[in-house]
Amino acid sequence: MKLLIKNGRVINPAAKFDAVADVLVADGKIAQVGENLTAEDAEVYDATGKVVTPGLVDLHVHFREPGQEAKEDFLSGSEAAAAGGFTTVCTMPNTKPVVDTAAMVRSLKERAAEVAKVHVQIIGAVTKGQKGQELAELGDMLQAGAVAFSDDGHFDPTAKVLLSAYDYLHTFDKVIINHDEEPSLVEEGVMNEGHRSAMLGLKGRPTVAEDIAVARDVLLAEYADARVHVAHISSARAVDIVRQAKKRGVRVTAEVTPQHLTMTDECVNLFDTSTKINPPLRTQRDCDALLAGLKDGTIDAIVTDHSPHAQEEKDREYIYAPSGFPGLETSLGVMLTDLCQTGKLDLPTIITKMTYEPAQALGLAAGTLNTGAAADITVIDPELTWTVDEKKFYTRGSHSPFVGRQLKGRAVLTVVDGRIVMRDGQVF
């Protein structure tokens, strides 16, 4: 099968290419990128006025499989990914049971191959049961196909155990993704500690809890000459800790979510649990620092932390509701509307941080339109205005702080291995 995408603004960060051009796909691969391309028997897609990019890459999603399929599974989650323009996603292991064995990794890879609409990569747990006490089957999970390791949702309290994991994975040049919040400082906290939490009478989670944890994990990685990736960074000081570490040559990367870039703790409403996330929404000062970190290269990736929950779980008092909301279908629109359209962040940087750089952070074969690469492609209409409607979500989660918002810019075509899996919002 051949596909010819014509006359779009092609942004390929891997080749530093940004120009109006055509993209020819043949046999599931990128065959050619250039002007005035033709091909017999090719399906032609007119991308005039649109942006053609590598398929979006998300390093941080929760598809809830196994054990919590009522919230999400590989089919519904991958449909949401395709609808949002993502062609590669990495699933976190804090499932029930935890993904901490090679057998689990193999099983989930087989499941993804059977039902997923996009590429689903498996992240394994660092410790058995994510309990922070004993290393999981790291080597066996690597052989089974795990792309990275994380105890996301938990902070590994024992430095010695984490250092042992760093020492072991250093040999294989694989990444540990850390959820960085010191537990003793955030117990029972449900939002950022500050003026807003005091006004609402809610127990807070201070930024220093994140700062201490990021500093510890970065220092341990530096000591072991290992690779560390800071998950969903949210505090200004944590950004600077990563910045200074990179200057020293520490092998550290970091990610940020659209919600932490564009929302503050002033958005927290006791009657809307969609704003309850972990780490919590911070202050405008933190948002500004995160944006600066994206611009200067301190932060490598924009991720969704897609975390759907069942309706009845989120429809509770704020302090009892679980943290997180689905983000795959809104992420790109929020970035384009709140940061690109406002001139705060240019389009090529957004595309780079949602394609090439996240793929590089985990060593994934994704995020590029180079000749010979897998034909994973996203076409974006930057002028398309649309309203976020949870009733039209493919994800099983419905609580999102972006519901009802009018956004400008959306993926209109998603191509995986040369096959169209989404066109104009419809997933096939």
Q: Are 41 and 80 in contact (CB under 8 A)?
A: no
Rounded to whole angstroms, the Cα distance separating 393 from 41 reads: 34
The token duo for 327 is 């983000």
- For 6-39, the DSSP string reads EEEEEEEGGGTEEEEEEEEEETTEEEEEESS---
Catalytic residue among 305, 338, 376, 381: 305
DSSP-based three-state secondary structure for 77 = helix
305 catalytic? Reply is: yes
> Which of 10, 78, 88 has its CA nearest to residue 45?
10
The token duo for 351 is 């595309």
Task: Give Rg (Cα) of the chain.
Answer: 20
> Which of 266, 264, 289, 284 has its CA nearest to residue 211?
289
Provide the b/e sequence for 58-97 (b: ≥16 CB within 10 Å).
Answer: bbbbbbbbbebbebbbbbbbbbbbbbbbbbbbbbbbbbee
Would you please indicate which residues are annotated as catalytic (active-site) residues? 305
